[in-house]
Amino acid sequence: MGEGHSVGEMHPVGEMHPMGEMHPMGEMHPMEKENFIEEVYFMEEEHSVEKYRLLCKLVQKEQFGTEMTQQEKDAAVQSFLAARSQPDEILQYKKRMRVSPAEDCLYPDYYLPPCDGGRRLRLVQGYLPKTNLLYANHCEAEILRLLVRFAPEHASVKDMVRHTLERFRKTCFGNFCTQGECVATGICVLRLLASVRPVDEAWIDKLLGPLGERFLAFGPGQAASQKGIPLSYLLMAFTDIDNEKTRSLLGQKKEWLVQLLRKGWITGRLSNGKISDGDTYNLLGKYIIRNAVCTLPEYPEKERYRIYVDDAEGRCYCDIPWK
């Protein structure tokens, strides 16, 4: 578990870095530093969570298929541009992460992750990150993804996206790494790549290969995550990319995914009356799975497959047939 490393400083791209092995320069793998960083990081002043709540709201609207007006998109662009982290905040954050600010490529340069009462918030689809590496890069990549979708010709947006992709190219997770949550962080890269034009098919394919193999390893009892990969987040990337390879991968797991859709999932309230925070995302998860399955030619009209909550059971279902 833990953080990533920059390409060129560490092990060859795609190979696992043994825990505790040292950098050529004598430094430990940044993942090893995670436990030492946590206390200091959460004792510092908290970053505003407002931009993150807006991000989650907009991404969830996308997944639910809720139409957004141009006025709403323009307002989001202005809010995100105004919420850009200041250079001194970026500097202090990278120092807390114990990286050299001048040389770092592992952490954001524009949008820092929120710290809400000394805790990490869940990713846009509900996964609770264990590392700063995933949490921070997810926040920046998802904001930039919406910015490039809503304002692709905005000069500042184009510059931030270009710089961030250049940063990702220097990282292990941007080239696929098997170490801890570096795998999930690669999904952030995929999501951003899928929104940028022209599409970098070669880079997407480079990440899709190993992530696809991990996806095919999912099975019964692993509907949330498997070996640090949040299933629904990966499916969001597949839906965004929607090419021959993603459809082939989804086709191979079609029966299992349809089974997940047809099965009842609790929507937050447990039998003892308590609220399960993670389970409140199950309804969103149904939409994410349906969106992915409906990129397949067998399921061309996703609106036909109703997602609903049975009030008596407190469980969500999807009316989707076997095909």
Give the pLDDT confidence of 220-261 residue by residue, as tens digits.
766 666 667 899 999 999 999 999 999 999 999 999 999 999
What pLDDT was estimated at residue 36? 35
What are the residue ranges spanned by the domains of the chain? 30-252, 253-323
Two tokens, residue 27: 């430094």
Can you give the pTM of this predicted structure?
A: 0.85
Dihedral sign of CA atoms 19, 11, 208, 105 in order: positive
At residue 130, the pLDDT reads 93
The helix/strand/coil state of 220 is coil
Is the distance from CB of 122 to CB of 281 less than 8 angstroms? Answer: yes
Measured in whole angstroms, the distance separating CA 120 from the mean position of its chain's CA atoms is 14
Task: Give the Cα separation of 233 and 225 in Å (integer).
Answer: 9
Q: Give the span between the Cα atoms of 98 and 31, in whole angstroms.
A: 11
- As a whole number of angstroms, the distance between CA 299 and CA 322 comes to 10
Nearest to 30 by CA among 50, 52, 9: 9
What confidence score (pLDDT) does residue 209 get? 93
β-bridge partners, 64:
none
CA distance 139 to 55: 9
CA distance 314 to 163: 45
Which residues, given as ranges, of the chain have pLDDT below 50? 1-2, 8-47
Which residues lie across from 214 on neighbouring strands?
Answer: none
Residue reference for tokens 């004792």: 43
